[in-house]
Amino acid sequence: MTDQTKDRVVIFDTTLRDGEQSPGATMTHAEKLEIAGLLDEMGVDIIEAGFPIASEGDFNAVSEIAKNAANSVICGLARANFKDIDRCWEAVQHAKRPRIHTFIGTSPLHRAIPNLTQDEMADRIHETVTHARNLCDNVQWSPMDATRTEWDYLCRTVEIAIKAGATTINIPDTVGYTAPVESANLIRRLIATVPGADEVVFATHCHNDLGMATANSLAAVEGGARQIECTINGLGERAGNTALEEVVMAMKVRGDILPFYTGIDTTKIMNISRRVASVSGFPVQFNKAIVGKNAFAHESGIHQDGMLKNAETFEIMRPEDVGLTETNIVMGKHSGRAALRSKLKDLGYELADNQLNDVFVRFKELADRKKEVYDDDLIALVTAGADTDSNRLQIKHLRVVCGTDGPQMATLTMEVDGVEHGTEATGDGPVDATFNAVKNLFPHDARLQLYQVHAVTEGTDAQATVSVRMEEDGRIVTGQSADTDTVVASAKAYVHALNRLLVRREKTGSDAREVSYKDVS
């Protein structure tokens, strides 16, 4: 079956809006622009770049993304009031193809928050969608918690939004409550029942609370939806959102029963998955579909034997279909810049000369400590801790004494604003002692929310990638680093997070969320 005989499904990516709402996943301005650029290159139809009224930082990021987008529609989120909608338009109007996405909670539970009657809410929907359409000819409207909204009232509000000028009607399963058969039937019934439904695009937005987001999204498409809202790696609040890579590859692999196609370049999936994991501080679980480390790994003897004879015995898609490639270049201490550049290009990273030089120096240091440098080692070098906007704090020397006889002690020399300082500290283990030493030299009240370590590759000489998440006065930052010494990686990740916190402090909290999504007054 060719694409000409299939229906096109629009991919609406909300990694930078709904995905970033996941606690601790806040991204910097530069990171948002980078991810938006990767989404644009990959062929995402619509990028929901943020919630412009939320903060000055969000507004600036949406504006900049709108100015830089080459192909994608750039969308901003707005609650059902004129102030939000005006601010959203102010941000997205710079795009070649802008969109305003406005929403209101229509279920009984959500109507109770602004204390609106059904008639009062209906009036507000008409007024706000009309206002948005007067500003922009591409307007999306969402009845939040649609799957728990009374059927008659849902039909009524959808009809009002269509008559007011909405061009896309998004039906959110805000709390991941529905099941696939319900998802398909809901879309099918709305299209058949609501006047004007055949003149707009219906979209589906599913959360994964019961693990059915991908199934619900695909079922909605079978029911008539032609836009899927999703995020990279399924990033999002609580259990996350529909994963872009899952729905896209499901339609690609099972085109025999899913007669749909997208404009996504699937070979770019692995690169953007790794980058989102890095900047968000949310690593991908090993057995995650499509992009997990084990997604194309085979350990069972029966599986390995079958793979050697015919890869299709245990693989329904090729690793290269999602951008997971293997090359014959083995990297080691004798490898030069040209080989490193070629290898990184195969892995999806095209670096400027100054970036390549920085990675090359760190690659040589790593190669002196490891016999063989694996692909994942190189990815860690490129991504972990190399994107700090501030370098006011830098680890210079670290020595740790540990063992069965405590207390453990860390001796640290750290550069603070260009001046070296030294200290010693003890702690309950080498990492605790190291963090205490950092705190001695740079006192702070930030609370460590998460400390996570995983080995990049196998073997006792494997690099450890460490992620830390810290919170101070509502500002949440993440830090990452990688090193063959876990304690060194921990120290660098901790300092990486503190440097990011300093940037946030300097912006006087402008990147912190300033409004609540539930405040629709």
The residue with greater pLDDT, 248 or 317, is 248
Query: What is residue 301's predicted lDDT score, i.e. its pLDDT?
Result: 43
Using CA atoms, how far apart are residues 61 and 221, in angstroms rounded to an integer?
Answer: 31
207 contacts: CB under 8 Å, gap ≥ 6 = 173, 174, 175, 176, 213, 236, 237, 238, 239, 240, 241, 242
Separation between Cα atoms, residue 97 and residue 100, nearest integer Å: 10
Cα-Cα-Cα-Cα torsion 190, 202, 64, 97, nearest 10 degrees, comes to -120
Among 516, 21, 50, residue whose Cα is nearest residue 236: 21
Among 140-144, 270-274, 297-301, 514-518, the range scoring the smallest mean pLDDT is: 514-518
CATH code reported for the domain at 8-280: 3.20.20.70
Q: What is the pLDDT of residues 169-221, one digit of tens each?
A: 999 999 999 999 999 999 999 999 999 999 999 999 999 999 999 999 999 99
Q: Give the contacts of 419 (CB within 8 A, at least 6 positions apart).
A: none
Question: How many Å apart are CA 227 and CA 165, to the nearest integer?
Answer: 18
**Domain range list for the chain:** 8-280, 295-322, 326-383, 393-506
Q: What is the pTM of this model?
A: 0.82
Q: Is the pLDDT of residue 352 over 50?
A: yes
C-alpha neighbours within 13 Å on the C-beta side of residue 106? 31
Confidence of residue 302 (pLDDT cuts 50, 70, 90): very low
Give the list of residues 6+ apart from residue 202 with CB closer than 8 angstroms, or none: 168, 169, 170, 171, 187, 190, 191, 220, 224, 225, 226, 227
Average the pLDDT over each of 256-270, 289-303, 304-318, 375-389 and give the range with the smallest value: 304-318
At 381 the pLDDT is 81
Which range has the top average pLDDT, 85-94, 319-328, 396-405? 85-94
Angstrom distance (rounded) from CA 412 to CA 422: 6
On whether 389 is known to bind a ligand per the annotation, the reply is no
Per-residue model confidence as pLDDT tens digits over 278-293? 888 788 888 999 998 8
Report whether 207 belongs to an annotated binding site.
Answer: yes
Element (H, E) at 63: helix 56-68
The 10s digit of each residue's pLDDT in 324-340 is 876 545 677 778 888 88
Q: What is the mean pLDDT of the chain?
A: 88
- The per-residue pLDDT for 300 is 39
Instruction: Please give the full DSSP string across 65-87, using - where no structure is assigned.
Output: HHHH-SSSEEEEEEESSHHHHHH
pLDDT of residue 435: 97
Q: With 80 as the cut, is the pLDDT of residue 431 above it? A: yes
Is the pLDDT at 157 greater than 90, yes or no? Answer: yes
Q: Is 368 annotated as a binding residue?
A: no
393-506 CATH choice from 1.10.1040.10, 1.25.40.850, 3.40.50.720, 3.30.160.270: 3.30.160.270
Across residues 299-325, what is the average pLDDT?
A: 60
Q: What is the pLDDT of residue 454?
A: 82
Q: What is the mean pLDDT of residues 446-461?
A: 84
**What is the reported pLDDT for 5?**
66
Distances (CA, A) of 188 to 57, 183, 185, 282: 39, 9, 5, 36
Let me know: does 385 contact 494? Beta carbons within 8 Å.
Answer: no
205 assigned binding-site residue: yes
What is the rounded distance in angstroms from the CA atom of residue 250 to the CA atom of residue 258?
8
Q: How far apart are CA 358 and CA 112, in angstroms?
A: 55
Residue for token digits 């990184």? Answer: 344
